[in-house]
Amino acid sequence: MTFHSACLRILKQESSHLEGYDRNFTIYDSGDQEQVIKEILRPMNLDDKQHSPKTYLNWISKQKSNLKLPPARYIPMGNDWEELAPLVYQRYQAAMQQSNAMDFDDLLLQTVLLFKRKPDVLAKYQERFQYIMVDEYQDTNHIQYVFVSMLAQKYKNICVVGDDDQSIYGFRQADIRNILDFERDFPGAKVIRLEQNYRSTGRILEAANEVVANNRERKPKTLWTKNPQGEKILCFHAESDREEAEFVAGRI
């Protein structure tokens, strides 16, 4: 399952333990979420360009991904979006609960909060998921890490697959420390390096190894292949994205 589908299933099965929601809660998509934010901002008479609903939603998503709840009380000191963001988060979450609705971040947040409030519920799912495997672990965020760690806490039968050199989703709150610190979080873990590459030529791998070796935080590894050495690499510096696309299309 994906993280979200697993959490949705758990929340539906444990709906009697939810705070502020009942079993028939709905899931809002991005359009629904933007509409909620617009209704919150409308009475404030703010400039739409400086106070985009997406800006607030991205900020709220980051808070939830880091297990940060809205403040119980908050008085903004100005009208900058950064000052208003905690207030908007507070009103957004209240409006969502009033509508018996969750967003995708809530699925993870409410599951982790449920596990923290109800150790017996957590124990139940630790028994159900005695063996856990997570793919693309380098792209997990903090709350996904907490969710998996709580489930694996009892039996510690957890296998994660990932490559710290391929972590590109920091803008979605992916935390590369999750994979870099795996052996610290799970002492005794065995690391198996899958260094043979079946897709690329030797020159491509040589270039990739040279570039990625400059990363400050990474697990040491050297990719290799039995494939031919291949053609020399061509470096083309485009002046724009359009010129780059035309060059690639022309080469193809």
Q: What is the pLDDT of residues 43-102, one digit of tens each?
A: 998 887 789 999 999 999 999 999 999 998 888 888 899 999 999 999 999 999 999 999
Which CB contacts under 8 angstroms, 24+ apart, belong to 118-123?
Answer: 118/14, 118/17, 121/14, 121/17, 122/150, 122/151, 123/154
In DSSP terms, 102 is beta-bridged to 27
* Residue 191 DSSP SS3: coil
Tell me what pLDDT residue 91 has. Answer: 96
Helix axes 30-41, 81-98, angle to 10 degrees: 120
Which runs of E-coded beta strand occur in 85-244?
A: 101-102, 132-134, 158-160
Indicate whether 219 pLDDT > 90. Answer: no
In DSSP terms, 101 is beta-bridged to 26
Q: Which residues have a Cβ under 8 Å from the Cβ of 221 and sit 6 or more positions away?
A: 165, 193, 195
Which CB contacts under 8 angstroms, 24+ apart, belong to 131-134?
Answer: 131/155, 131/157, 131/158, 131/159, 132/157, 132/158, 132/159, 133/158, 133/159, 133/160, 133/161, 134/158, 134/159, 134/160, 134/161, 134/162
In DSSP terms, 132 is beta-bridged to 158
pLDDT 10s digits, 129-160: 999 999 999 999 999 999 999 999 999 999 99
Tell me what pLDDT residue 173 has. Answer: 84
Token pair recorded at residue 58: 């991205």
Other CB atoms within a 10 A radius of the CB of residue 51 amount to 19
pLDDT 10s digits, 4-15: 999 999 999 999
> Nearest 10 degrees: CA dihedral of 40, 42, 46, 51?
50
Tell me what pLDDT residue 111 has. Answer: 98
How far is the C-alpha of 212 from the C-alpha of 205, rounded, in Å?
A: 10
Query: For a pLDDT cut of 70, what percent of the chain falls above it?
Result: 100
Indicate whether 215 pLDDT > 90. Answer: no
pLDDT 10s digits, 203-212: 999 999 999 9
Query: What average pLDDT is seen over the chain?
Result: 94
Of 9-23, 142-156, 158-172, 238-252, which gets the smallest average pLDDT? Answer: 158-172
Q: Which residues have a Cβ under 8 Å from the Cβ of 46 and sit 6 or more positions away?
A: 79, 84
Q: Which amino acid is at 138?
A: Q
25 against 217, higher pLDDT: 25
What is the average per-residue pLDDT within 194-205?
96
